[in-house]
Amino acid sequence: MTNHVRTVALALLVAAAAPAAAATAPGPAVGAWATYQWTSSLSRQVPVVVREERPGGQVAWSVTQESTPPPPIFVTYAIVRGDARTYTLQIVTHVSLESAPLSVTQVTIDRASGKAVRSVIRRPKGVIATPESGLRPFRQSAVKGTEEPVAVPAGRFSAVRASYRDGTVWVSDQAPALGLVKATFATGTLELVRSGSSGAKDLLRS
């Protein structure tokens, strides 16, 4: 994983952690999934080569720094396992919708408390423990806010808009897995691209 992708992924997890306290759902159905586009508002410095023509036909070259936002990253949240006590939320990051996973993280969550029982990430040497993302599924009825339509790449949804910490979330029961249609934070914007109520694959058991 490149440095700028690591930075964007970290920013995404930090931003996504914000709504955790507002999510009170006991857990969505196993197999549900939702893919989001994360567009960062943070900038990175990249080198730019400048060509300058001088009198007499001479050409001078120099390198300067330019501030530019990193490219969008895609993240899929899925419910891949579950029983009466717990369910497992899988988080997969990609550089594009069809690319191979950059990272695969799974958080096993206690349905009653909403707390993480276990959190692991896949590494080249196997699965290791990792800090969990903090994000939990939302229920539209549990969010206090204003009902309004919201348009995202996945379509137009009737949602509840609510403020939370440094951002705003749009929550709808029409959105599988997380119940989240859109979220805006100081670090960037998360928008639903596509989703399904079944078919999620457990990438740490396949």
CA distance 147 to 159: 6
Contact 43, 67 (CB under 8 A): yes
Residue 109, domain extent: 3-44+67-196
154: DSSP letter: T
- Over its length of 206 residues, how does the chain's per-residue pLDDT go in tens digits? 444 444 444 444 434 443 443 444 456 889 999 999 999 887 655 566 667 777 777 777 767 766 667 889 999 999 999 999 999 999 999 999 989 998 999 999 998 888 899 999 987 767 877 776 667 888 888 889 999 999 999 999 999 999 877 889 999 999 999 999 999 988 889 999 999 999 999 999 86
Whether residue 58 is contained in a domain is answered as no
Kindly state whether residue 177 falls inside one of the protein's structural domains.
Answer: yes
- Structural domain total, the chain: 1
79 belongs to a structural domain: yes
In a domain, 202, yes or no: no
Residue 21 resides in a domain: yes
- Specify if 143 maps to a domain: yes
Strands (E) in the chain, as ranges, are 33-40, 44-53, 59-68, 73-82, 86-94, 103-110, 116-123, 126-129, 146-152, 155-164, 167-171, 180-185, 188-196
Domain annotation covers residue 49 = no
Specify if 182 maps to a domain: yes
